[in-house]
């Protein structure tokens, strides 16, 4: 390791220590990863895509992903069905109330015969 790299590493460690002591570790980690990504010319989308691709190659993760995908789709279907049923029930109740209200108004508006 050359002297410049050692100095940068020492500065990074000292900065991390100071930021960690002042409860700013999350910010330091975010800034550090951003700067490292900029230095190596990496983009977040590329990193995420590469990470997902590599995770997909692991058989256990792929199996877990398939299992979760099925469960999430089923839960989503149930949620959409429940929301649609609730909305249709509300619509039906509103239409019933309005129809009943129209019938009452019509009876009230009819003139009484003398």
How does pLDDT run across 30-68, given as a tens digit for each residue? 777 777 766 666 677 777 788 788 877 888 887 887 888
CB 56 within 8 A of CB 65: yes
How does pLDDT run across 1-32, given as a tens digit for each residue? 677 777 777 887 887 777 677 767 677 777 77
CB 20 within 8 A of CB 28: yes
DSSP of 51-73 = HHHHHHHSHHHHHHHHHHHHHHH
Q: Where are the domains of the chain?
A: 1-42, 60-108
CB 20 within 8 A of CB 27: no
Which has more confidence, 65 or 83?
83
Calculate the CA dihedral of residues 90, 91, 93, 99 and round it to 10 degrees.
160
């Amino acid at each position: 390791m050359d002297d410049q790299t050692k100095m940068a590493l020492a500065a990074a460690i000292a900065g991390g220590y100071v930021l960690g002591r002042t409860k700013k570790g999350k910010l330091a980690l975010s800034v550090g990863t951003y700067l490292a990504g900029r230095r190596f010319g990496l983009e977040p989308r590329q990193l995420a895509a590469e990470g997902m691709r590599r995770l997909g190659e692991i058989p256990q993760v792929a199996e877990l992903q398939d299992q979760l995908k099925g469960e999430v789709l089923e839960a989503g279907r149930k949620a959409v069905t429940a929301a649609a049923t609730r909305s249709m029930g509300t619509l039906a109740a509103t239409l019933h109330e309005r129809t009943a209200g129209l019938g009452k108004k019509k009876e009230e508006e009819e003139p009484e015969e003398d």
